């Protein structure tokens, strides 16, 4: 007997899938799409659907690099079988870097609040920043490479112009986890925002450094956001 409940697989797919009706309303979305919609509006996604839709009934895959907050995609498929519904599926880029056992030895139990406050004290001695700090004292200790964390913070702060007003926040990211070395890890979000434009020339280097520490790095002209796994 053929198994026919394909929806189950769609529901649990890591790649977001959304089905719109002709009135631009969402009639179905899977779990991954729910996370996506926390980062991008449905109108933007619908607009992308229309832009990349095939000329006739059927489906069309387009390769393009998309990044919404911490989610990145390497392509989309847009398809429709009638004039009533149109669907879009986004293909998530995979970060397939897992730490070696040797690499993990540099991660030691650390209070990230203390580490962050020390980094701020250090930068305050060298640069004139107007810093507003919001931390979460309930974040428990977790494994961090202390040397790398200081290095990342040094480079982050270097990218902001002296005299800038910085809003720094550190909090637990609720409801999201990542797997590192087969261990499900909660995430801590560290964000540094400014009103002035920052120097983005070192962003690639920062991203590489973060990747070595399994930290997701996202930055634009006015913000740096780190998602740090609680190893």
Partner 1 sequence: MIKFIAESTQLVNIVKSLQLTKKFFVSSLIVGEAYSGKKSVARHVLPDAPLVDGENLNNILDVLQRHDEVIINNFHKIANFSLLNFDNKRIIATALYQPKDPKVDELFGYIYTLPPLRERLDDAQALANIFIQKAKQTLSLSHEVFINIKDLDLNENSKSLEKSIYKKLVFSDIDQKDIEEIMYDFFLEHLEGNDDYKKYLPLFEKPLIEAGLKKYKSQLKLAGILGINRNTLRKKANEYGL
Interface ranges with partner 1 (CB under 8 A):
105-106, 108, 110, 115, 118, 121-122, 125-126, 145-151, 154
Rounded to whole angstroms, the Cα distance separating 194 from 206 reads 18
Closest CA to 157 of 186, 183, 131, 184: 131
- Which residue, 49 or 168, is less far from partner 1 as judged by CB? 168
- At 144 the three-state DSSP class reads strand
Distances (CA, A) of 80 to 14, 37, 47: 21, 21, 15
- At 208 the three-state DSSP class reads helix
Rounded to whole angstroms, the Cα distance separating 71 from 169 reads 20
Rounded to whole angstroms, the Cα distance separating 188 from 213 reads 13
Minimal distance, residue 150 CB to partner 1, in Å: 3
Minimal distance, residue 146 CB to partner 1, in Å: 4
Minimal distance, residue 211 CB to partner 1, in Å: 13
- Which residue, 119 or 194, is less far from partner 1 as judged by CB? 119
- Which residue, 148 or 191, is less far from partner 1 as judged by CB? 148
Minimal distance, residue 105 CB to partner 1, in Å: 6
- Which residue, 88 or 156, is less far from partner 1 as judged by CB? 156
Minimal distance, residue 212 CB to partner 1, in Å: 9
Minimal distance, residue 200 CB to partner 1, in Å: 18
- Which residue, 11 or 148, is less far from partner 1 as judged by CB? 148
**What is the CA 201 to chain-centroid distance, rounded?**
20
- Helices marked H in 111-177: 112-126, 146-158
Rounded to whole angstroms, the Cα distance separating 112 from 209 reads 17
- Which residue, 40 or 115, is less far from partner 1 as judged by CB? 115
Rounded to whole angstroms, the Cα distance separating 4 from 2 reads 6
């Amino acid at each position: 007997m053929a198994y026919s409940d394909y929806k189950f697989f769609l529901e649990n797919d890591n790649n977001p899938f959304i089905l719109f009706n002709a009135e631009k309303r969402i009639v179905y979305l899977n779990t991954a799409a729910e996370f996506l919609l926390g980062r991008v509006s449905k109108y933007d996604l619908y607009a992308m659907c229309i832009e990349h839709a095939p000329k006739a009934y059927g489906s069309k895959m387009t390769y393009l690099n998309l990044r919404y907050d911490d989610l990145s995609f390497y392509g989309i498929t847009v398809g429709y079988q009638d004039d009533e519904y149109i669907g879009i599926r986004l293909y998530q880029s995979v970060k397939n870097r897992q730490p070696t056992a040797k690499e993990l030895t540099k991660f030691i139990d650390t209070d990230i609040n203390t580490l962050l406050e020390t980094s701020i004290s250090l930068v305050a001695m060298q640069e004139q920043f107007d810093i507003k700090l919001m931390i979460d004292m309930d974040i428990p200790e977790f494994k961090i490479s202390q040397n790398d964390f200081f290095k990342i913070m040094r480079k982050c702060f270097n990218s902001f112009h002296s005299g800038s007003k910085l809003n720094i926040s550190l909090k637990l990211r609720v409801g999201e986890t990542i797997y590192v070395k087969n261990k499900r890890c909660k995430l801590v979000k560290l964000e540094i925002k400014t009103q002035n434009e920052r120097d983005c020339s070192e962003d690639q280097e920062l991203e590489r450094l973060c990747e070595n520490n399994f930290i997701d790095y996202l930055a634009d002209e006015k913000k740096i956001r780190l998602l740090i796994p609680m190893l």
